[in-house]
């Protein structure tokens, strides 16, 4: 298959800062053993999950083009997903949470294209094609759930993160990569696990992205649906784990009615979950999501929203009551005794937008050294500035090309030469430009003529604050894919020979008749002599031959390899 990204209309409309995370699937990377791992997990899951998963799971497997026998290709998935208005794209392991959410907002499933090793067949902390393709994809065949996923991405992409979030993301990504790589010592893995644990236990106020990530974990990844006493599985982490999909329904795992409280329940990605949340139906997920969104700065704005952006030290956006959006790294705020923001400031490149489109002439080139402005109403004037028409402006001495001095209720004074103003689509003033301008507050100079022209944002209040730029085209791409890449291990000569045996069995399965039995038993003898640790190919041979010698060998293998005894049992039961 082609080692290129096959595009479609949904992928074409992705912005550049998301496209940078996309990579070709490279289907040829999958070994015959990888294909056998996929087939075993899928056979086991479909057999078991048809009884315990949400009803849309099995239907979704067919609808989204997920094969039981072969690892799916992105091309095939996209061709079928297109019919339900979604797409899929391959990425390298974990990507930053905001980017992951934004892909969902564009109705694109992010699929880590690597696949777990045979040693980690039951569960891996690393995202892989089993988790993403066989876990996430089938459930989106449910329209209610698909809309929840899209809406979650839309809201989650606006969540404000912190430096701590970035640190923990990088640590978890590194741990997931090392756990799936060959030849990494236990000492190294234990040290990274300890680092992840320390970061998870660090006593820091949870950011918006941390809280909404919790909601994502307890629904999209580890959610149960239906009756709390007999729930069904819909979370991708459970659907893709042949270990946890059974464990999760046992009495040892506490079942809790799903509410917004789940946002404050943390999780450990390296261990089975001690409790899970049960939603009565997919529509209820949206109710809780909207309830949580009402607590976020994107809806509340105000000084708390601005405070979150200042603490994040990353590009964010505030939107004023006039609709003017200011995007940049926020560094300062002044608030009055009523906790209203009366002044804000950014540092470095800043852009102004309206309705997510950059205002012409007010990109980062015009505001490369930052942007600042007072907010609120003028002292002694009942009419808000944004509501002033041309005659109102003249009545209060706002004449183009004339000097003016005015004071805000906060005590901030602006003196300068009025140049011009820009209005929004409702006809409200949202920006006024001054030259030779000085802005003072008490004894502090907030802006002086040497700093250039002064563009004053107009607005009574901050109505929204969110992560990222209002217009993603305003800034060069800053957040790059992680420098820690998935480790691809080469195969030894002996591993190549074992893979060739898997290929032989795979080819025989396609046209198997009783005349092939002798050939399979010859391969079986090879495995016994040269690969005594392999159990999966022996199971595949037993599946076809039903030979008692092969069955006896598998039963003995359970004694010598107790860690996989239950997997061998599961394979025999499938036969």
3-state secondary structure 276-328: EEEECCHHHHHHHHHHHHCCCHHHHCHHHHHHHHHHHCCCEEEEECCCEEEEE
The average pLDDT across 235-243 equals: 86
Note the pLDDT of residue 1.
42
Residue 3's pLDDT band, with cuts at 50, 70 and 90, is: low
Q: Which residues, including other chains, have CB under 8 Å from residue 430's CB and lie 6 or more apart? A: 320, 322, 323, 324, 354, 386, 422, 423, 424, 457, 458, 459
84 plus 156 within the same structural domain: yes
185 plus 302 within the same structural domain: no
User: 18-54: per-residue pLDDT in tens?
Assistant: 999 998 888 888 999 999 999 999 898 888 888 899 9
263 plus 319 within the same structural domain: no
Question: In this model, does residue 4 exceed pLDDT 80?
Answer: no
DSSP for residue 442: T
Q: Which of 125, 119, 118 is nearest to 171 (CA)?
A: 125
Encode 232-258: b = buried (16+ Cβ within 10 Å), e = exposed.
bbbbbbbbbbbebbbebbeeeeebeeb
Note the pLDDT of residue 65.
67
Any idea which of 92-96, 185-189, 491-495, 517-521 has the lowest mean pLDDT?
Answer: 491-495
**Higher-confidence position of 170 and 434:** 434
Kindly tell me the burial class for residue 561, based on how many C-beta atoms sit within 10 Å of its own C-beta (0-12, 13-18, 19 or more): middle
User: 536-549: per-residue pLDDT in tens?
Assistant: 999 999 999 999 99
255 plus 341 within the same structural domain: no
Encode 196-231: b = buried (16+ Cβ within 10 Å), e = exposed.
beebeeeeeebbbbbbbbbbbbbbbbbbbbbeeeeb
Note the pLDDT of residue 240.
84
Note the pLDDT of residue 79.
81
Domain boundary among 450, 467, 484: 467
Kindly report the average pLDDT of the chain as a whole number.
90
Residue 490's pLDDT band, with cuts at 50, 70 and 90, is: low
Residue 280 forms part of a structural domain: yes
Tokens 């506490």 belong to 254
105 plus 152 within the same structural domain: yes
**Hey, what are 250's tokens?**
């046992």
Residue 100 forms part of a structural domain: yes
121 plus 238 within the same structural domain: yes
278 plus 301 within the same structural domain: no
Q: Residue ranges of the alpha helices (H) in 89-240?
A: 97-105, 129-131, 137-139, 143-156, 163-180, 186-201, 208-216, 236-239
Beta bridge partners of 90: 111
Q: Are 75 and 164 in contact (CB under 8 A)?
A: no
**Hey, what are 256's tokens?**
């809790």
The average pLDDT across 69-89 equals: 86
User: 176-221: per-residue pLDDT in tens?
Assistant: 888 777 778 889 888 888 888 888 888 888 999 999 999 999 999 9
Residue 43 forms part of a structural domain: yes
457 plus 367 within the same structural domain: yes
The average pLDDT across 117-142 equals: 82
Domain that holds residue 218: 9-290
Residue 565 forms part of a structural domain: yes
Q: How far apart are CA 535 and CA 510, in angstroms?
A: 21
Q: What percent of the chain has pLDDT over 90?
A: 59
Compute CA distances 443 → 41, 271, 548, 556, whole Å: 70, 57, 93, 86
User: 468-484: per-residue pLDDT in tens?
Assistant: 999 999 998 877 676 66
341 plus 275 within the same structural domain: no
CATH of the domain at 310: 2.30.30.100
**Hey, what are 552's tokens?**
């006896």
Q: Which of 257, 265, 261, 255 is nearest to 292 (CA)?
A: 261
30 plus 169 within the same structural domain: yes
Residue 514 forms part of a structural domain: yes
241 plus 305 within the same structural domain: no
Please state whether beta strands 87-91 and 108-112 pair in parallel, antiparallel, or not at all (unpaired). Answer: parallel
pTM beyond 0.75, yes or no: yes
Query: What is the total count of domains within the chain?
Result: 3
Question: In this model, does residue 432 exceed pLDDT 50?
Answer: yes
Return the number of other C-beta atoms located less than 10 Å from residue 322's C-beta.
25
**Higher-confidence position of 40 and 240:** 40
Residue 163's pLDDT band, with cuts at 50, 70 and 90, is: confident
Helices 208-216 and 282-293: angle between axes, nearest 10 degrees: 170
User: 447-475: per-residue pLDDT in tens?
Assistant: 999 999 999 999 999 999 999 999 999 99
Compute CA distances 403 → 64, 371, 374, whole Å: 66, 22, 18
101 plus 218 within the same structural domain: yes
Question: In this model, does residue 76 exceed pLDDT 90?
Answer: no
**Hey, what are 520's tokens?**
């399979």
């Amino acid at each position: 298959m082609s080692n290129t990204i096959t595009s479609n209309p949904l992928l074409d409309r992705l912005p550049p800062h998301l496209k940078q995370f996309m990579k070709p699937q490279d289907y040829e990377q999958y070994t015959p053993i990888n294909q056998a791992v996929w087939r075993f997990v899928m056979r086991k899951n479909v057999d078991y999950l048809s009884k315990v998963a949400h009803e849309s799971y099995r239907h979704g497997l067919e609808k989204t083009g997920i094969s039981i026998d072969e690892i799916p290709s992105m091309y095939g998935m996209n061709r079928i997903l297109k019919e339900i208005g979604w797409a899929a794209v391959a990425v390298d392991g974990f990507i930053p949470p905001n980017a992951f959410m934004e892909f969902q907002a564009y109705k694109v499933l992010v699929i880590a294209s690597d696949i777990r090793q045979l040693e980690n067949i039951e569960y891996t902390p690393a995202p892989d094609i089993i988790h993403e393709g066989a876990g996430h994809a089938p459930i989106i065949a449910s329209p209610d759930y698909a809309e929840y996923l899209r809406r979650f991405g839309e809201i989650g992409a606006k969540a404000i993160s912190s430096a701590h979030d970035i640190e923990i993301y990088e640590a978890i990504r590194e741990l997931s990569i090392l756990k799936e790589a060959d030849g990494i010592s236990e000492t190294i893995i234990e040290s990274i696990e300890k680092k992840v644990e320390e970061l998870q236990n660090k006593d820091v106020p949870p950011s918006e992205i941390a809280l909404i990530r919790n909601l994502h974990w307890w629904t999209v990844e580890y959610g149960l649906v239906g009756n709390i006493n007999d729930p069904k599985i819909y979370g991708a982490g459970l659907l893709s784990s042949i270990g946890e999909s059974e464990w999760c329904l046992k009495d040892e795992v506490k079942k809790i009615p799903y509410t917004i409280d789940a946002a404050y329940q943390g999780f450990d990605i390296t261990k089975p979950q001690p409790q899970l949340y049960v939603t009565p139906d997919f529509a209820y997920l949206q109710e809780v999501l909207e309830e949580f969104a009402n607590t976020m700065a994107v809806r509340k704005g105000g000084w708390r929203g601005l405070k979150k952006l200042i603490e994040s030290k990353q590009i964010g956006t505030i939107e004023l009551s006039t609709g003017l959006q200011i995007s940049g790294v926020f560094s300062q705020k002044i608030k009055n005794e009523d906790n209203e923001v009366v002044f804000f400031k950014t540092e470095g490149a800043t852009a102004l937008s309206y309705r997510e489109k950059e205002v012409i002439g007010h990109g980062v080139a015009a505001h490369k050294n930052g942007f600042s402005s007072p907010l609120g109403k003028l002292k002694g004037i009942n009419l808000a500035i944004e509501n002033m028409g041309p005659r109102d402006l003249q009545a209060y001495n706002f004449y183009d090309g004339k000097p003016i001095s005015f004071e805000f209720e906060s005590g901030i004074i602006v003196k300068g030469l009025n140049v011009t103003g820009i209005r929004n689509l409702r006809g409200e003033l949202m920006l006024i430009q001054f030259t030779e301008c000085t802005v003072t507050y008490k004894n502090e100079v907030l802006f002086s003529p040497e700093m250039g022209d002064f563009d004053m944002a107009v607005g009574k209040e901050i109505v929204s604050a969110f992560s990222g730029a209002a217009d993603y085209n305003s800034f060069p791409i800053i957040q790059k894919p992680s420098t820690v890449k998935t480790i691809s291990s080469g195969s030894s000569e002996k591993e190549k020979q074992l893979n060739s045996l898997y290929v032989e069995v795979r080819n025989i399965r396609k046209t198997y008749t009783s005349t092939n039995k002798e050939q399979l038993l010859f391969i079986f003898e090879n495995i016994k002599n040269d690969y005594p640790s392999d159990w999966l190919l022996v199971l595949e041979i037993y599946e076809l031959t039903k030979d008692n010698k092969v069955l006896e060998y598998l039963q003995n293998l359970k004694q010598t390899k107790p860690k996989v005894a239950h997997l061998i049992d599961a394979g025999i039961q499938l036969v």
